[in-house]
Amino acid sequence: MALMSCSQLSVTYGSYLAVDNVSIEINKGDYLCVVGSNGSGKSTLVKALLGLVSSSQGSITVKDCGIGYLPQQSVIQRDFPASVLEVVKSGSVGRKKIGPFFTKAEMQCAWEQIEKLNLTKVAKKSFMDLSGGQQQRVLLARALCTANQAKNPLLVLDEPVTGLDPLITDELYSIIRDLHANHQVSVLMVSHDIHRAVQNATHILHMDTCCRFYGTAEEYEKTEFYKEMSSVEVCSTHCCTHCGPNCNASHVLIKGKR
């Protein structure tokens, strides 16, 4: 069952073509990773699917799913003067309800996500006082609260491990893998980590503004696209000019707007 799909979707920023004639669908049970070099339109495609940017061509269909979105985070966006529980339960704010208060069911959902992501011990702490990895787990729990508003939850994650150290990155990928495998959560993720994408995802979309490959992870692993991408180590900062002195990564050049 298709939860989200697009047909011949294009997005332009002025005269710049960011997404060119892309057609995909995310079915129930899918774990789709969107890969490609910087500027290939990955994040723009996701934002278009969510209605956050306007498309210039094509159609988008979303049905029978609850969508939890975890965008790329900045330092400012992490500066929330609220407790962990308050941040997580705010994922239910979009529900149609009478009055400003959270229902018993919404509070229960928030606590379920807190327990699922091993955040119980910090539930009453300030979000601002947490480590980067803990903050990302809180925001993931919040997205799950939103996704669980419907029978078929879909997590949309835009480079969720950006800026995290390797151990925390491993942990977060493990959590997402568990949510997909054991909690019936479908996943759409933008990722720069081609190796983890192939290891974890069921399907891969390789973009270069247009769709260069769309199919199963097993099929993608046999392509020249995978061989080319896997030979380039991309710095976790995704930056070509402002990396730290210890960065040894080869950088994929930014071609245009993300």
Q: Identify the structural domains of the chain with CATH numbers, from first to last.
A: 1-65+155-258 (3.40.50.300), 81-149 (no CATH)
**Range with the lowest mean pLDDT among 40-54, 177-191, 219-233?**
219-233
Burial group, residue 231, by CB count within 10 angstroms (0-12, 13-18, 19+): exposed
What is the tens place of the pLDDT at every residue in 50-86? 999 999 999 999 998 999 999 987 544 566 678 999 9
What pairs with residue 215 in β-bridges? 204
CB 66 within 8 A of CB 154: yes
Whole-angstrom Cα distance, residue 19 to residue 39? Answer: 10
What is the tens place of the pLDDT at every residue in 198-247? 999 999 999 999 999 999 999 999 999 998 887 765 554 444 333 444 44
Phi-psi region of 163 (alpha: psi -120 to 50; beta: other; left: phi over 0): left
Closest CA to 169 of 236, 235, 97, 102: 236
Q: What share of residues in the chain are helix, strand, coil (percent, to 5)? A: 35, 25, 40
Whole-angstrom Cα distance, residue 208 to residue 42? Answer: 8
Supply 187's token pair: 């996943």
